[in-house]
């Protein structure tokens, strides 16, 4: 599932350059029965299956290193934010636990997991996709992963405003033109225009960002 993401991407280039390392593990490797069972029916009844504690404890106890952050991806976790992504980018070692199951045994969450993260208010069928999102978001904060440091400072969310529109050549395409100010060479005017577009866009689609004080 993660092959293309880890090879054919900006993150993949970062991995090739040795800026970060990603390893994928199959929990079934830590099961002990012949069917390699990682889940079971919930105590108390109900639909769906629950990830068993034994393979998860065995896997994490084997893979963890001193001080490593053990994260569980779940829609009821704390929302991923740029600040959280940046914090994670400074960690030496992170273990992401992702469920393909209805749930996981609460003892894993209580005794093994350091942090629970959600990537948004929707439910995925597969936590691995959520882990990939978190890895991608944190990877961008690792120095050198993005070619230009500048691309980090100018974009959406760093200043709580959404991004301004970008244009490139040709200046006219099928009758659609580029705003004149961008061709003017007047950098003061361009900055002002871009800021106005940012405020406008933010008001339109994310007015909540303008109300935030932090």
- Cα–Cα nearest to 183, from 195, 200, 171: 171
Shortest CB 116 distance to ligand ADE, Å: 9
53 lies in the site for ligand ADE, by CB under 6 A: no
77 is in an annotated binding site: no
73 lies in the site for ligand ADE, by CB under 6 A: yes
Nearer to ligand ADE by C-beta: 130 or 137? 130
Q: According to CB under 6 A, which residues from 115 to 154 bind ligand ADE? A: 118-120, 122-124, 127, 130
Q: Which long-range contacts (CB under 8 A, 24 or more apart) does 58-65 make?
A: 58/30, 59/25, 59/27, 59/29, 59/30, 60/95, 60/97, 60/112, 62/30, 63/25, 63/95, 64/93, 64/95, 65/92, 65/93
Shortest CB 123 distance to ligand ADE, Å: 5
Nearer to ligand ADE by C-beta: 14 or 99? 99
Nearer to ligand ADE by C-beta: 17 or 24? 24
Shortest CB 114 distance to ligand ADE, Å: 15
- Cα–Cα nearest to 145, from 8, 5, 1, 16: 16
Number of residues located near ligand ADE, criterion CB under 6 A: 11
H-helix or E-strand spanning residue 177: strand 176-177
- List, edge to edge, every strand of the sheet that includes 50-51: 39-40, 50-51, 103-104
What mask of x and - would describe binding to ligand ADE in positions 154 to 173, judged by CB under 6 A?
--------------------
Q: Which residues bind ligand ADE (CB under 6 A)?
A: 73-75, 118-120, 122-124, 127, 130
């Amino acid at each position: 599932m993660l092959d293309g993401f880890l090879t054919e991407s900006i993150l993949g280039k970062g991995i090739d350059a040795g800026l970060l390392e990603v390893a994928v593990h199959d929990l079934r490797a830590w099961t002990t029965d012949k069917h390699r069972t990682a889940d079971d029916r919930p105590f108390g009844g109900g639909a769906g299956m629950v990830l068993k504690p034994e393979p998860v404890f065995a896997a994490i106890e084997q893979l963890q290193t001193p001080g490593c952050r053990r994260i569980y991806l779940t829609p009821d976790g704390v929302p991923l934010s740029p600040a959280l992504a940046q914090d994670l980018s400074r960690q030496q070692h992170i273990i992401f636990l992702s469920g393909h199951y209805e749930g996981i045994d609460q003892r894993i969450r209580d005794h093994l997991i350091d942090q629970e993260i959600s990537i948004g208010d929707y439910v995925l069928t597969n936590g691995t996709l959520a882990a990939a999102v978190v890895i991608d978001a944190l990877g961008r904060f690792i120095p050198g992963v993005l070619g230009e440091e500048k691309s980090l400072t100018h974009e959406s969310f760093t200043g709580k405003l959404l991004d301004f529109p970008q244009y490139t050549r040709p200046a006219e395409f099928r009758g659609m033109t580029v705003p004149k100010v961008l061709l003017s060479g007047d950098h003061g005017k361009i900055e002002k225009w871009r800021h106005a577009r940012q405020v406008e866009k933010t008001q339109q689609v994310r007015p909540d960002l303008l109300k935030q004080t932090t």
